[in-house]
Structure 1
Amino acid sequence: MTTISADIRANRVTRSLLGYGVLAGPFYVVVSLAQALTRDGFELTRHSWSLLSNGSLGWIQITNFLLTGLMVLAAAVGLSRAVPQSPWTGRLVGVFGASMLAAGVLRADPALGFPAGTPDGMGTVSWHGIGHLAAGAIGFLCVAAAAWVLARHQSPGLALYSRVSGTVFLLAFAGIASGNGAPGFTVGFIAGVLVIFTWLAVVSIRLYRSLPCR
């Protein structure tokens, strides 16, 4: 009876951690979009959400990065506990969470006319701007890899979904990383972000429901 009770308590903790995998994406997207649609000079088809860290209201996006990163880290621990046979899934998602924390600390450089009054073009690249880009690249590659790694431990349907999600996100990231400023690449990356955060939520919900808590 003691062992069963301990297992149930452990499952409840794991379920709580996985809950953050459901919350992280909607929180990040809603806060980012709310700013993108209301801040002067910001264009969804031209500017990356990272640029929102600049200006007098930049603290909102910085806080968004930090809180979302913490939620993703919590979900990563939950994944490690829920799928012990796939330790690299949690580790890779954890790197993604850490990269969001780094992206919040290392602010992206003003560019492309944002914030309002910034000269058009890429502008000067600072050390923290380079760090922001590097953190993002590492995190994006890791979360895409996590989707593929976890696919090996899922049912055929969910495995296919994970592989497709990871691939779509990787292609979206490759498009934006190419430096092509075409609106399609910017919007495509936004779509990729929605896809990978939806994947994290779906997987978290699936694992959450698989753990008995009573």
Structure 2
Amino acid sequence: MTTTQLTARATATSAATTSTSTSSPTPSTIASGPVRALLAAGAVATPLWTVAAVTQALTRDGFDLTRHPFSMLANGSLGWIQIINFLVVGALFIAAAAGLRRALHGGGGGIWVPRLVRVVGVGMVAAGVFVADPGDGFPAGTPAGRPESMSWHGTLHLVAGSVTFFALIAACLVLGRRFGRAADRRSAVACRAAAVAVVLGNGWAMSGGPAGSLTLAVGVIAGMGCVSWVAARYRRGL
């Protein structure tokens, strides 16, 4: 075989290899698609929750965000909207946990963050299944003030909410530590501030402070927003 023939054969083989590699995605490319979808679920979770809850708070008769927590929106004839909000957003956070487990690659909180976010999602689903008790004038016609006793589903809702808050605080703190170790000071401060917001908002509400339900809502949205922001950030990196 002549030198010219050998060169032609090598060129053809190289072209075929290039064509095959171009048309066939690598395993990492194949894997990134589902991970991006899971992280996208986490990215949209907080905006969806916020828009749905705030819209109801502004339009439901008798609801006052300074006195009534978002959970109470699950009562009344339109309560199904908030129940669905809990269930859908909880499922989105569970999906986000699966995406973060693959995106963080372990180490530096890579193990605990997905676990904690999964607990947040499960807690929100449980909070939707076990509806909070009505009270303090909502829904319209309910006697003013706190109810004299708490129902079994109201008790379970409180438990689910508490577990969700603790998991959310822990997730934000672990993320803050991860970013701190990576010398990303701004991200570390933002995540830690979100954890503090959840603590202060919940503490103020539990102590009966003025507009406690509003501070609770702001704190929880800040914590949820931190998780959604991190999910969106890692999604962009894939």
Larger radius of gyration: 2
Alignment match of 2:216 (pick from 189, 193, 209) = 189
Aligned to 1:54: 75
The DSSP-based 3-state class of the residue aligned with 1:153 is helix
CA distance in 2, matches of 1:10, 1:107: 38
Q: Does 1:200 align with 2:221?
A: no
Aligned to 1:150: 175
Q: Does 1:26 align with 2:47?
A: yes
Moved over 3 A (4+): none
CA distance in 2, matches of 1:60, 1:10: 35
Aligned to 1:118: 142
> Aligned ranges for residues 1-214 of structure 1 at < 5 Å?
5-85=26-106, 86-123=110-147, 124-154=149-179, 155-178=184-207, 180=208, 182-183=210-211, 185-211=212-238
The one-letter code sitting in structure 2 at the alignment partner of 1:26 is P
- Give, in angstroms, the shift of residue 181 of structure 1: 5.2
- Give, in angstroms, the shift of residue 151 of structure 1: 2.3
The one-letter code sitting in structure 1 at the alignment partner of 2:210 is A
Q: Residues 36 and 49 of structure 1 are in contact (CA less than 8 Å); yes or no, is this contact kept in structure 2?
A: yes
CA distance in 2, matches of 1:176, 1:134: 16
Q: Number of residues paired by the alignment?
A: 209
**Gapped regions of structure 2 (runs ≥ 5):** 1-20
Q: Residues 46 and 181 of structure 1 are in contact (CA less than 8 Å); yes or no, is this contact kept in structure 2?
A: no
- Give, in angstroms, the shift of residue 18 of structure 1: 0.6
The DSSP-based 3-state class of the residue aligned with 1:117 is coil
Deviations 1:72-97 (CA, angstroms, capped at 9, x unpaired): 11111111111132211000011010
Q: Which protein has greater RCO, CA pairs closer than 8 Å, 6+ apart? A: 1
- Give, in angstroms, the shift of residue 204 of structure 1: 1.1
- Give, in angstroms, the shift of residue 60 of structure 1: 0.8
The DSSP-based 3-state class of the residue aligned with 1:161 is helix
- Give, in angstroms, the shift of residue 173 of structure 1: 1.5
- Give, in angstroms, the shift of residue 4 of structure 1: 7.0
**Gapped regions of structure 1 (runs ≥ 5):** none
The one-letter code sitting in structure 2 at the alignment partner of 1:144 is I
Q: Residues 41 and 92 of structure 2 are in contact (CA less than 8 Å); yes or no, is this contact kept in structure 1?
A: yes
Deviations 1:105-160 (CA, angstroms, capped at 9, x unpaired): 00000111110111111113101001001100111110110111122322232122
CA distance in 1, matches of 2:64, 2:84: 21
TM-score (normalizing by structure 1)? 0.92
Aligned alpha-carbon RMSD (Å): 1.7
CA distance in 2, matches of 1:118, 1:76: 38
CA distance in 2, matches of 1:210, 1:157: 18
CA distance in 1, matches of 2:176, 2:61: 42
CA distance in 2, matches of 1:132, 1:111: 14
Q: Residues 41 and 114 of structure 1 are in contact (CA less than 8 Å); yes or no, is this contact kept in structure 2?
A: yes
What is the identity percentage for the equivalent residue pairs of Structure 1 and Structure 2? 43
The one-letter code sitting in structure 2 at the alignment partner of 1:207 is Y
- Give, in angstroms, the shift of residue 22 of structure 1: 1.3
CA distance in 2, matches of 1:100, 1:54: 16
